[in-house]
Amino acid sequence: FVCSGLVQAVFNCIGLKIPRDSKEQYDFFKNRIINIKNSKFGDLHFFSEKNKICHVGFSTGGKGIIHCQGYVKKESLDKNDGNYNKNLLYKYLSTHSIRSKFN
């Protein structure tokens, strides 16, 4: 799996169709930006590099993330967390609410 494929597969499992590519997923949710501190389990964290969307993952609430980079893993964007991934934090762009899109 790649990151966007994981996200798309999970949405497919619950009967929701979203685009395949992380850039297209960002565009699909672009009007649903929320503060990362307010993110709930299942919301989406997006990342960019050189002004291009390059990664996406599911929030586990706040700064936690489940994502795929070669394999599925649980990490954090919180510097005080044992699963902290500084490379992801450096590329962090925004968090988007899935609930406001589908409710």
67-68-71 Cα angle (round to 5): 130
Going residue by residue through the chain, which has 103 residues, state the pLDDT in tens, using 9 for 90 and above. 799 999 999 999 999 999 999 999 999 999 999 999 999 999 999 999 999 999 999 999 999 999 999 999 999 999 999 999 999 999 999 999 999 998 7
Q: Pull the structure tokens for residue 74.
A: 């649980």
- State residue 46's pLDDT score: 98
Whole-model pTM?
0.96
- Residues 6 or more apart whose CB falls under 8 angstroms from that of 71 comprise 1
